Amino acid sequence: MKVVTHSQRPDLLTEFEHMESDAFPEFMLHDPIWNGCWPQILTEFSDFQLYLLDPDTDQLAGVFNTVPFVWDGSVEDLPDSEHEVLTRSLRHRREGREPTALCGIQVAVATSHQGRGLASTALTEGRRLCKEHGLSHLIAPIRPTLKSRYPTVPFERYIDWARSDGTPFDPWIRTQVLEGAARLGVCREPMRFEGSVSDWESWTGLAFPESGGYVIGGALDLLQVDLTEDRGRLAELNVWYGFRIDPEEGA
Ligand SMILES: CC(C)(COP(=O)(O)OP(=O)(O)OC[C@H]1O[C@@H](n2cnc3c(N)ncnc32)[C@H](O)[C@@H]1OP(=O)(O)O)[C@@H](O)C(=O)NCCC(=O)NCCS
């Protein structure tokens, strides 16, 4: 796989945006915190946005978006959620602080290239990026790929599900573990997605005729609809995994 950064190939942005909207459920594309931070992240951290290209076609096969920030290596100093990752990285940049860790904020593999180990390649490239920039950890708040098929199962139980061979049930968690990442804990705060009832109706293609909990496609938990307030709220937990980077290994 050929790997380039956004600073090297800014022309891949449109292809990237198509891949992103194919990979994630619609409601995630309307996240005001992500959308508010993203243009600045792309500009400030363009060397940390990785594009994986199919060497035969030069087409985009996968992306790994990351941000550098200061982390002291303790569980207590982990950001509360991915939203805090975004705001913390930009704040540390503004304050001119020297980053110590790289945090994955998004990975996506084109449907045509899924199941070929590109997620592992992305993690390998993330570790390489850490070495290149003198960062001592690669961490990420993981959004388990298949949790959306089990929205009523408590998150803490789901992440401990295992296959008969003892490896994690969830493929994205499995990739972390097989690559050697350690679990650092469940995020203290969920990612919160909120909108009016008509927003959620257009994002999901469903109708919500009464208040209550609904299963919606792609969400890790139930959407809670409140007709009196005209609000739909979804809270999704993620789980932290991380690698300590050995500057000598594979150098
Ligand atoms: C999660 C994702 C990045 C995995 O990428 P990938 O390159 O296909 O993963 P790999 O080829 O390394 O596969 C790892 C394992 O997951 C399995 N797998 C991958 N995608 C899967 C899917 N959608 N459903 C079920 N299993 C899947 C593979 O079969 C493999 O299983 P194995 O350990 O038994 O061999 C990719 O599915 C994707 O882009 N999903 C949409 C975006 C997303 O959810 N990103 C993660 C949160 S930011």
User: From the CB of 94, is ligand 1 less than 6 Å away?
Assistant: no
d(CA 251, CA 243): 16
Residue ranges of domains in the chain: 2-189+237-244, 193-234
Counting from 1 in the atom list of ligand 1, the atom nearest the Cα of 178 is 33
pLDDT at 248: 72
Question: Which bin fits 44, alpha (ψ -120 to 50), beta or left (φ > 0)?
Answer: alpha
User: From the CB of 121, is ligand 1 less than 6 Å away?
Assistant: no
Nearest CA to ligand 1 atom 13: 115
Q: Which helix (H) or strand (E) holds 61?
A: strand 60-69
From the CA of 174, how far away is ligand 1's center (Å)? 9
Q: Using alpha carbons only, what angle is made at residue 110 by residues 112 and 65, rounded to the nearest 5 degrees?
A: 160
250: confidence class by pLDDT, cuts 50, 70, 90:
low
Summarize pLDDT for 71-111 with one digit per residue, the tens.
999 999 999 999 999 999 999 999 999 999 999 999 999 98
Q: What is the pTM (predicted TM-score) of this model?
A: 0.94
How far is C-alpha 191 from the chain's CA centre? 11
Nearest CA to ligand 1 atom 47: 143
User: From the CB of 81, is ligand 1 less than 6 Å away?
Assistant: no
List the structure tokens of 98.
């020297």
d(CA 136, CA 189): 25
Residue 251 pLDDT greater than 60, yes or no = no
Summarize pLDDT for 143-195 with one digit per residue, the tens.
999 999 999 999 999 999 999 999 999 999 999 999 999 999 999 999 999 99
pLDDT at 247: 74
Summarize pLDDT for 124-133 with one digit per residue, the tens.
999 999 999 9
User: From the CB of 149, is ligand 1 less than 6 Å away?
Assistant: no
Of 33, 50, 193, 174, the C-alpha closest to 117 is 174
d(CA 68, CA 51): 17
Nearest CA to ligand 1 atom 15: 171
Q: Which of helix, strand or coil describes residue 194?
A: strand
**Exposure of 113 by Cβ count < 10 A (0-12 exposed, 13-18 middle, 19+ buried)?**
middle
Residue 29 pLDDT greater than 60, yes or no = yes
From the CA of 87, how far away is ligand 1's center (Å)? 27
Of 7, 221, 248, 245, the C-alpha closest to 103 is 245
User: From the CB of 91, is ligand 1 less than 6 Å away?
Assistant: no
Contact 135, 88 (CB under 8 A): no
User: From the CB of 176, is ligand 1 less than 6 Å away?
Assistant: no
Q: Which CATH architecture has domain 2-189+237-244?
A: 3-Layer(aba) Sandwich (3.40)
d(CA 158, CA 168): 10
Summarize pLDDT for 185-221 with one digit per residue, the tens.
999 999 999 999 999 999 999 999 999 999 999 999 9
> Cβ atoms within 10 A of the Cβ of 103, count?
28
pLDDT at 74: 97
Residue 52 pLDDT greater than 80, yes or no = yes
CA distances for 136 relative to 46, 72, 200, angstroms: 20, 10, 40
User: From the CB of 105, is ligand 1 less than 6 Å away?
Assistant: no
Residue 249 pLDDT greater than 80, yes or no = no
pLDDT at 246: 83
From the CA of 111, how far away is ligand 1's center (Å)? 10
